[in-house]
Amino acid sequence: MFQSDALCGDSANEFYEIGQVRNQVFAVSSVLIAGRTRRVNKIMTYKLSWMKKNYYDPMMRLANRFNPPSRVTVTYRDSDCIIA
Residue at 58 is within a domain = no
Residue at 45 is within a domain = yes
* Domain boundaries, position 37: 1-51
Q: What is the tally of structural domains in the chain?
A: 1
Determine the Cα–Cα distance for residues 9 and 23; give it in Å rounded to an integer. 17
Residue at 61 is within a domain = no
pLDDT at residue 78 above 90?
A: no
pTM above 0.85, yes or no: no
Residue at 12 is within a domain = yes
Q: What is the mean pLDDT of residues 28-48?
A: 88
- What pLDDT shows up at residue 66? 87
Residue at 30 is within a domain = yes
Residue at 44 is within a domain = yes
